[in-house]
Amino acid sequence: MPSPCYLCAKPGSIPLKLKESFTAHSLAKCPDSKTLCDRCYGAIDGTEKQLWYWNEGKGKWSALWGRSLSRLYQGEKLIAPVIEGEHTESGKTFQVVSNLPTRVQMRDWLLNPPEPPFTIVISESGQKHILPWAQEGHDRNYFPVQFEMDTVFLDRHFATVLAAFEALMGLGFGKTEILTGEYRSENLKNNLEQWDEFEPILARYRGGRLLELIAHVAQAPEKKEEAPKQTKVTPEIKAGQLSLF
């Protein structure tokens, strides 16, 4: 029977050899173990430590650290992003990552997670190893999300809080205003009635990681284009023409 992974406690088989630069030993779930699982090893020191990504905007290949990736797993299968194939650039050969998840897609993960078991990892800074600490979700109505170094549990009330946050964004309130509760007087003056409806929903979560996770993925509602106003054309009355009005 394989021993548990030093970091995440899943079955591990790779000998434990972490570099001195790794400092998160206090978070290890099995501190007496001498092995790592494939997932943890791959992201920290294995084939996913560094990856090549085709940067469409710059028209060139860019190197990414695997720890910077937000990820969605269903069971052990990585759903997003896609990591496959290899590329060599400047003498360095790494695997290729594509279809990096957008915040719109991450928002959908939280609202509509896949069939269990699944694992959701959302990177905030891109500077820390967060994959090893992610917990697996077994219920679409109550599940953990690894948001940077914090595990945030979501239930179906999440959709209500997200909707309230986005409703205020649609009224012109900024994310920082909503997160801190320090609203601009001009925004309050123009939207007091609507604000009074949504603020109580948000206030109970202010200062916690749940609201910060919501701010990370929230999208302002698209503004509907107003129909062009029709201009009334008054016919020109020439000199000598009879006016009836």
In a domain, 99, yes or no: yes
Report in angstroms the alpha-carbon separations of 84 from 51, 53, 130, 234: 10, 11, 21, 67
In total, how many domains does the chain have? 2
Are 83 and 151 in a shared domain?
A: yes
DSSP type of residue 149: T
In a domain, 187, yes or no: yes
What does pTM read for this prediction?
Answer: 0.88
Are 51 and 107 in a shared domain?
A: yes
In a domain, 198, yes or no: yes
pLDDT recorded at residue 222: 83
pLDDT recorded at residue 229: 55
Are 175 and 212 in a shared domain?
A: yes
Are 142 and 171 in a shared domain?
A: no
Which residues make beta-bridge pairs with 62? Answer: 53
Whether residue 14 contacts residue 37, with contact meaning beta carbons closer than 8 Å, is answered with yes
Are 142 and 60 in a shared domain?
A: yes
pLDDT recorded at residue 231: 52
Beta strands across the sheet bearing 77-80: 77-80, 71-74, 118-122, 142-147, 150-155
Spell out the per-residue pLDDT of the chain, length 245, in tens.
789 999 999 999 999 999 998 999 999 999 999 999 999 999 999 999 999 999 999 999 999 999 999 999 999 999 999 999 999 999 999 999 999 999 999 999 999 999 999 999 999 999 999 999 999 999 999 999 999 999 999 998 999 999 999 999 999 999 999 999 999 999 999 999 999 999 999 999 999 999 999 999 999 998 755 555 555 555 554 444 443 33
The span from the CA of 176 to the CA of 230, in Å, is 39
Distance spanning both ends of the chain, measured CA to CA: 98
Q: Give the domain extent around 63.
A: 47-155
In a domain, 28, yes or no: no
Report in angstroms the alpha-carbon separations of 144 from 76, 85, 113, 230: 16, 31, 11, 53
Which residues make beta-bridge pairs with 143? Answer: 154
The span from the CA of 132 to the CA of 121, in Å, is 10
Are 107 and 142 in a shared domain?
A: yes
Tokens of residue 89, six digits:
């650039």
Are 67 and 150 in a shared domain?
A: yes
The span from the CA of 244 to the CA of 129, in Å, is 81
The span from the CA of 207 to the CA of 204, in Å, is 9
